Amino acid sequence: MSFGFHPISKAEQVRKVPVKQRKQHSKPELYRGRRIPMKSIRGRITRETYNKTIDMHGFECFFCGTTHSLECHHVVPKGYSRTISGRGVWRNLRFVCTKDHENSPNGVHGNPAMLKQLQEHHEQLYGPHYYKDVYDLFMEGLVENTSPEAYEAFMQEEERKAAFLRVDAEASEAAWF
């Protein structure tokens, strides 16, 4: 038995040890014969929804009105609660500046009152389902299929109802009873 110097060969040094990866749930969810994408994918902000948000809401901070260093914010954040999770649809997105978006008492992520104000504003504009995508509405039985046309028709009807409620509330406030 020799206790001398025994260098490791170059082949052993470069040998790659396979890294055991965690098994991901790559199986899509099936609901009534439809494939439902994973929640992480449904919460993403695509370039199309980003541009639609600019068109519909403008490119300024909701709270302070600045146009510098803006970030796109989920009104109902992804993973908001066990039952509610905001999706990456333009009705659930709003631009806020970096200062108002941070996780501090001055930012929307650290100040529940600011988050609530933003959520109430969107609910008044778009109705109670503003943060949902077509798959959420389909699984709740509110739309008959997962087509973009069915989703837009439902959401436009919700916007019409919300506008009617706003006008009705304003009229009742102006009444002299």
Q: Which domain holds residue 118?
A: 31-164
Strands (E) across the chain are located at 29-31, 34-36, 70-74, 93-97
Residue 16 lies in a domain: no
Predicted TM-score (pTM) of this structure = 0.76
Q: Which positions ≥6 away from 76 have C-beta within 8 Å?
A: 84, 85, 86, 92, 119, 131
In a domain, 24, yes or no: no
| Distance from C-alpha of 156 to C-alpha of 38, rounded to nearest angstrom | 25
| Residue 21 maps to a domain | no
177 in a structural domain: no
DSSP state of 81: S
Per-residue pLDDT of the chain (177 residues; tens, 9 = 90+): 556 666 777 677 677 666 666 665 566 678 888 888 888 888 999 999 999 999 999 999 999 999 999 999 999 988 777 778 899 999 999 999 999 998 888 889 889 999 999 999 999 999 999 999 999 999 999 999 999 999 999 999 999 999 988 877 776 766 665
CA gap 109, 87 in Å, rounded: 17
Considering the domain boundaries, does residue 40 fall inside one? yes
* 92, part of any domain: yes
Number of domains in the chain: 1
The answer as to whether 134 is a domain residue is yes
Is 9 part of any domain? Answer: no
Contact at 8 Å (CB) between 72 and 106? Answer: no
